[in-house]
Amino acid sequence: MSTPTRFRRRPTEVTALQWTGDNTEEMKQFTDGKFNVILGPELPQPNGEVYDHLHDTWIRVYPGQWVIKGTRGEFYPIAPDVLAETYEPVLAQETTAP
Domains held by the chain: number: 1
Number of residues that make up the chain? 98
In a domain, 27, yes or no: yes
pLDDT of residue 34: 97
Query: For 15-27, what is the mean pLDDT?
Result: 95
57 Cβ contact partners less than 8 Å away, ≥ 6 residues apart: 51
- Distances in Å between the alpha carbon of 50 and those of 53, 62, 74, 91? 10, 11, 10, 27
In a domain, 64, yes or no: yes
pLDDT of residue 94: 64
In a domain, 56, yes or no: yes
pTM of structure: 0.79
In a domain, 45, yes or no: yes
In a domain, 86, yes or no: yes
In a domain, 28, yes or no: yes
Instruction: Note down the domain range covering 51.
Output: 15-94
43 Cβ contact partners less than 8 Å away, ≥ 6 residues apart: none
